[in-house]
Chains A and B, each alone.
Chain A
């Protein structure tokens, strides 16, 4: 069993598992942090951004000034943003049989894999994952396509030139593999290869293994996967949460007794407690709005935003913010808010019961009804006429490189009354803000990451007790910035095996058994014999039939009866006749009794020698040797067949036959 690690990002994994002649890709996350190296794409022409000076080398050489721009000491690529794809060279991706998706954040690289690698397999995911994943992709494509950029920079990627650039461009890895965003057509084609599955549904892959999605408690439809054969079980845990938020709670029990547990997608901010962060978010929001400032929340169109809106629903009245408008701007805002309300079966128990009342599971429906929350596809159109300040705006993209958020950053950045509150943990907020410097607006960082923290992981591992744990290398040591925090790493016995990008791990466990079925008629014909209390044996003569990784014992064909007719022989009759079977022997020979029996039968001058493996009985007179070992008996005599047969029969008396 091997694991091919195609992504180095612990929360955006992409691994390939080779197990029992199947090749399974586990998630295909897209690392978008590469976009932080690019200049933002303003929706409305921004004089500030377009007038940024070009960057030139120390010696004054300005041949890169069209591609690279400088802003407050940082250098950015002035081009369409590009993404860092999973490794495509480590393994031939056309051999991948299936792709298992665990949540909508971990499928963003899907079009690159399914459309450009010769992939012909099937993708499995739950319905909410597919629908919301589609929204995320749609939003991404929309954000990038609606600001067409004439120029595509590639000169800087030249290895010799990249060396000369300032950090972080200099240190960016695999820049040659960075790709521009896919198109909607590719998205549609990729999504058409997905087959929908439900929690606990068992899916057979070629008869060899069975895969099952389990609720992981992190997002709508998010799943962990069990990949098992009859005798082996691999659990894939990716992006799970034990907190009570909107999704169905995590199914932990089904992860028990795994041989290998692949653990990815833990919280990215292990030191921040989500409850504290939500408190921080609310207080800062209230303080800003009370002072007449606006609040900007860069976010994804689905996920934590549902929980934030729910918190605000409870909070705004108590904080006296009832009259403050909340705007949610995204090309998919409407679909996202509506989808969340219809996936009742994927929600936590509390929300499910609301549906029977009937009430909408999420309170944002009421916020919309009472006009406190308004949503728009873009800041063009209705929004500009409804826009009222002070207000709170939720919009994408959290990288601050594209989407409507770019406009609001430009619009509100100059006033210290306004605040931008970062809640998504995927991007470093300082890097995200770099192209907007100097910035007067307040910045608050309260990342809300509900995924498992290390304390929860340690409890989980104690409970499910896997034989081996495999995880990204980042989880096996404390974070670099807090090297003393021994609690911020996975601590288990035996120590977890770690992987990094472009590494192949041989998983330390061997397959020892296969399951074989016996046809009923064959089973009927067996005559078991009890050789020890509770243990019976029977001999089987059968034909082993193997197809689709399933093994079946079928009755052997009957020996052909000579019919006398002139019928043509059928192909099946060609099978050679089975020989008449000799009985099988079992039991052990007690040496002393055997010697007594020999004496009784007239043998004398018997010597017994002990050997390492058993005994040798020496009949000196007859010049014969009987070698008795645990699993064999040999009678060695010189051409005296009569004697041999006599001795053999004596030996057989001590053994059972069947």
Chain B
């Protein structure tokens, strides 16, 4: 501890011990504890106590009967526990203080115990303290374990959960020494403390009260989740019959906790390898739980790395049950049903599985979400029933939109439940998108595209559903095979596209901005992916989409403008922007897009469109876009000039990105370019450095970068620092005459930069000679600056000294703030 803090500590302790003083808030006390934790972790706690007797004083003081705040009491308990974590310090405190703090005589029986924070502090104190064998004896002596048992059912959830975790910790600690060396040791030979906990768990598992069973299951879940020692296997062997007994009850009590426990056991490396009857229990559980409860268990089983094939098949069948139901109710082709219901288990009817609207919607959404999680995993069931899943998902989507015409009563009910249900639509579309990773029979893929088109066309699709439909559509188009040879979309997708493109203009004209926005996002993705393909280009150019997109640059909603900017950037890059020399445009020339985007960059009131413009410009520069390549320097200079004045830091940061691209192109980066790629026209061959730097000077890149270096937003400054460091590395080989830049000029630039750093950025630097730039770069401590910037901005405020001062200041103990604040 540094001396300043040591000096402040006694005052703070006396403030904390004084019940008349207002107590600092919880956050301060938490920070204080964090600080003590770092100190005790780094050094001796005993020494800390001896050097700062005030701490011991505080701990003794809180024991006196007085009206002390529960916060301070809880703090003291936690602090004592933290200090006693080291065995020597524990011994030092054990004589009187610890039993009085944590034993019967302490707060345990007093009025303060009614405060949850005190109970929580008591548990956390013991949690920190229980690190060594002596602590175990202490716990046994002061009867703490019984108290912890009772706290498991505490009214405060935090206390109850912490109590459970503490039990797990104590169990682990007590077995650490005892059972580690003897993996064969049976529970009968375990230490007393461990036996006591195990008996308590057994008792709870036998109880008829669900909350007690839940507590026991939660303790076990945490145990098996955190500890993978051989003794856990012994524990499971002893307790698994009791757990299995729970399954015989109807309904199964604490089903969620039971699922968690079984999955935790199954994931444990110690247990799953030897099985211990676990697989049988899992199979039994799967068949006993209701479909809603069994879903998470089935998913958990299927995610296991190793698991018997039969169990996986059973779990998968459980997971698929709701979808099987849907297919059955809508009387799908029997072929689909067979493969979904392959286990031959008793098929469940719609009435039992999907009895009410709420249950039906909930279960279907969960099932679809589970399957979506499962689909990309390597251990997903194989063979993956791609076709039936596609069939079921398409059917659900058709039921939701009222398109399906079920013939059975069950189907009718299902239809009535699902029609217009946005939740299911979203879940199904998400899953449908995921399914695009696999293939399917031609006929089914046709149905997928048909249902997607229906959703994209339907006026009833809500904006969120529409967005998901666009996403799923893109994924399916992406996965549709390309025609061999001509790298174009396959005829199937082309046909779909032909029907889709007339829909898009309507969506771009929607009165709902979310729809316009997702339409534009979809368009941008499409152009990015297929912009070079003839079939797509023809279809797009024949539609009104490009023209409408351009109009949306002036949309009243900023998100839409931003998306329109991105889409126009793509259209223009791919040469898909329409420039008709029609009679309506007598001039024959439309306003250039570059000018329009510059207008947005300099005048748009919202940040999103301006950021989007910067992204487009950066991309254009990178790709050597025709509008840019003509006069790159002028373009870069103009953009940097506008960006430097932007109030949005992301725009300025993106400006640096653009500067970096220009820099790389100008200086010529040791490129890893594909030899066949089109070489950016400005990528000049390596030339004498001064000459190479000249374009950078002309576009005033340095002025921009230096300004950014002292930006009030740290990310901008960091980026600029990196850019300048990169530049300095590039110019390291520059061996021009040292004195070539006139010294006074360098000095004046440095002086200006110092003023900028101080906050006065009014004066521009003007044109700089390359030599001056190199000299300035070399003279600057960029590494130091980077170090400073890397530290978080609240590093000063976070120091312990500052914390102590703040806490004292709030109670006026520093005596400094006598003056009126006004």
Cross-chain contact A279 with B419 (CB below 8 angstroms): no
Residues of B within 8 A of A311 (CB): 511
Q: Is B415's CB within 8 Å of the partner chain A?
A: yes
Residues of A within 8 A of B407 (CB): 484
Q: Is B551's CB within 8 Å of the partner chain A?
A: yes
- A290 and B544 CA atoms in complex are apart in Å by 10
User: Least Cβ distance of A100 to chain B in Å?
Assistant: 34
Cross-chain contact B506 with A284 (CB below 8 angstroms): yes
Residues of A within 8 A of B461 (CB): 276
Q: Is A317's CB within 8 Å of the partner chain B?
A: yes
| Complex: chain A residue closest to B502, CB-CB | A287
Q: Which of B408-439 contact A (CB under 8 A)?
A: 411-413, 415-416, 419-420
Interface string of B497-511 (1 = CB under 8 A from A): 000000001110111
Interface residues on B, range: 20 to 34
Cross-chain contact A484 with B406 (CB below 8 angstroms): yes
In the complex, the number of residue pairs spanning A and B with C-beta atoms less than 8 Å apart equals 75
Cross-chain contact A276 with B415 (CB below 8 angstroms): no
Q: Is A446's CB within 8 Å of the partner chain B?
A: yes
Q: Is A645's CB within 8 Å of the partner chain B?
A: no
Q: Is B806's CB within 8 Å of the partner chain A?
A: no
Q: Is A485's CB within 8 Å of the partner chain B?
A: yes
Known contacts A320-B551, A485-B416, A283 near B460 by CB under 8 Å: no
Known pairs A311-B511, A318-B557. 11 more at Cβ < 8 A?
A273-B420, A278-B511, A279-B511, A280-B459, A290-B551, A318-B555, A320-B551, A482-B405, A484-B412, A486-B416, A487-B416
Cross-chain contact B544 with A291 (CB below 8 angstroms): yes
Cross-chain contact A282 with B556 (CB below 8 angstroms): no
Known contacts A287-B506, A487-B419, A276 near B460 by CB under 8 Å: yes
Q: Is B363's CB within 8 Å of the partner chain A?
A: no
- A592 and B404 CA atoms in complex are apart in Å by 77
- A69 and B511 CA atoms in complex are apart in Å by 43
Q: Is B512's CB within 8 Å of the partner chain A?
A: yes
Residues of A within 8 A of B411 (CB): 484
Known contacts A287-B505, A485-B415, A486-B413, A314 near B511 by CB under 8 Å: yes
Q: Is B343's CB within 8 Å of the partner chain A?
A: no
Which 6 residue pairs of A and B lie closest in terms of their CB atoms, listed nearest first?
Answer: A276-B459, A487-B416, A280-B459, A283-B509, A286-B509, A283-B506
Q: Which of B519-568 contact A (CB under 8 A)?
A: 544, 547-548, 551, 554-557
Residues of B within 8 A of A278 (CB): 511
Q: Is B402's CB within 8 Å of the partner chain A?
A: yes
Residues of A within 8 A of B556 (CB): 317-318
Cross-chain contact B415 with A486 (CB below 8 angstroms): yes
| Complex: chain B residue closest to A285, CB-CB | B509
Instruction: Specify which of B406, B459, B515 is in contact with A446 (CB 8 Å cutoff).
Output: B459
Q: Is A371's CB within 8 Å of the partner chain B?
A: no
Q: Is B379's CB within 8 Å of the partner chain A?
A: no
Residues of B within 8 A of A279 (CB): 459, 510-512, 515
Known contacts A278-B511, A311-B511, A272 near B506 by CB under 8 Å: no
Residues of B within 8 A of A306 (CB): none
Q: Is A654's CB within 8 Å of the partner chain B?
A: no
Cross-chain contact B415 with A487 (CB below 8 angstroms): yes
Interface string of A550-567 (1 = CB under 8 A from B): 000000000000000000
Residues of B within 8 A of A276 (CB): 458-461
16 A-B pairs (CB sep. < 8 Å): A273-B420, A276-B459, A280-B506, A282-B510, A287-B506, A287-B509, A287-B544, A290-B509, A290-B548, A290-B551, A320-B551, A484-B404, A484-B411, A485-B402, A486-B413, A487-B419
Interface string of B438-482 (1 = CB under 8 A from A): 000000000000000000001111000000000000000000000
Interface string of A288-315 (1 = CB under 8 A from B): 0011000000000000000000010011
Interface string of A435-461 (1 = CB under 8 A from B): 000000000001000000001000000
Cross-chain contact B460 with A273 (CB below 8 angstroms): yes
User: Least Cβ distance of A165 to chain B in Å?
Assistant: 34
Q: Is A271's CB within 8 Å of the partner chain B?
A: yes
Q: Which of A250-270 contact B (CB under 8 A)?
A: none
Residues of B within 8 A of A271 (CB): 402, 460
Residues of B within 8 A of A315 (CB): 511
User: Least Cβ distance of B559 to chain A in Å?
Assistant: 13
Known contacts A287-B505, A487-B415, A482 near B460 by CB under 8 Å: no
User: Least Cβ distance of B414 to chain A in Å?
Assistant: 10
Residues of A within 8 A of B555 (CB): 318
Known contacts A273-B459, A276-B458, A279-B515, A484 near B405 by CB under 8 Å: yes
Indicate the member of B413, B416, B507 with the most A CB atoms within 10 Å: B416
| Complex: chain B residue closest to A276, CB-CB | B459
Known contacts A318-B555, A484-B407, A283 near B419 by CB under 8 Å: no
Cross-chain contact B509 with A485 (CB below 8 angstroms): no
Interface SS of A by simple majority? helix
User: Least Cβ distance of B401 to chain A in Å?
Assistant: 10
- A290 and B506 CA atoms in complex are apart in Å by 12
Cross-chain contact B419 with A485 (CB below 8 angstroms): yes
Residues of A within 8 A of B (CB): 271-273, 276-280, 282-284, 286-287, 290-291, 311, 314-315, 317-320, 446, 455, 482, 484-487
Known contacts A272-B460, A283-B507, A486-B412, A320 near B419 by CB under 8 Å: no
- A213 and B703 CA atoms in complex are apart in Å by 76
Cross-chain contact A283 with B458 (CB below 8 angstroms): no
Indicate the member of B404, B415, B420, B459 with the most A CB atoms within 10 Å: B459
User: Least Cβ distance of B771 to chain A in Å?
Assistant: 53
Cross-chain contact A282 with B511 (CB below 8 angstroms): yes
User: Least Cβ distance of B422 to chain A in Å?
Assistant: 11
Q: Which of B373-418 contact A (CB under 8 A)?
A: 402, 404-407, 411-413, 415-416
User: Least Cβ distance of B455 to chain A in Å?
Assistant: 12
| Complex: chain B residue closest to A454, CB-CB | B416
Cross-chain contact B459 with A272 (CB below 8 angstroms): yes
- A279 and B458 CA atoms in complex are apart in Å by 11
- A306 and B412 CA atoms in complex are apart in Å by 38
User: Least Cβ distance of A487 to chain B in Å?
Assistant: 4
User: Least Cβ distance of A375 to chain B in Å?
Assistant: 23
| Complex: chain B residue closest to A453, CB-CB | B420
Residues of A within 8 A of B510 (CB): 279, 282-283
User: Least Cβ distance of B600 to chain A in Å?
Assistant: 16
- A318 and B558 CA atoms in complex are apart in Å by 11
Q: Which of B314-349 contact A (CB under 8 A)?
A: none
- A287 and B512 CA atoms in complex are apart in Å by 15
- A283 and B402 CA atoms in complex are apart in Å by 23
- A272 and B420 CA atoms in complex are apart in Å by 10
- A315 and B555 CA atoms in complex are apart in Å by 11
Residues of A within 8 A of B547 (CB): 290
User: Least Cβ distance of B419 to chain A in Å?
Assistant: 5
User: Least Cβ distance of A311 to chain B in Å?
Assistant: 7
Residues of A within 8 A of B406 (CB): 484
User: Least Cβ distance of B308 to chain A in Å?
Assistant: 43
Residues of A within 8 A of B515 (CB): 279
Residues of B within 8 A of A287 (CB): 505-506, 509, 544
- A273 and B407 CA atoms in complex are apart in Å by 25
- A278 and B460 CA atoms in complex are apart in Å by 10
Residues of B within 8 A of A484 (CB): 404-407, 411-412, 415
User: Least Cβ distance of B353 to chain A in Å?
Assistant: 18
Cross-chain contact B511 with A283 (CB below 8 angstroms): yes
| Complex: chain B residue closest to A311, CB-CB | B511
- A42 and B413 CA atoms in complex are apart in Å by 49
Residues of B within 8 A of A320 (CB): 551, 554
- A446 and B457 CA atoms in complex are apart in Å by 13
User: Least Cβ distance of A363 to chain B in Å?
Assistant: 14
- A446 and B459 CA atoms in complex are apart in Å by 9
| Complex: chain A residue closest to B505, CB-CB | A287
Residues of A within 8 A of B509 (CB): 282-284, 286-287, 290, 319
Indicate the member of B413, B461, B512, B547 with the most A CB atoms within 10 Å: B512
Indicate the member of B402, B406, B461 with the most A CB atoms within 10 Å: B402
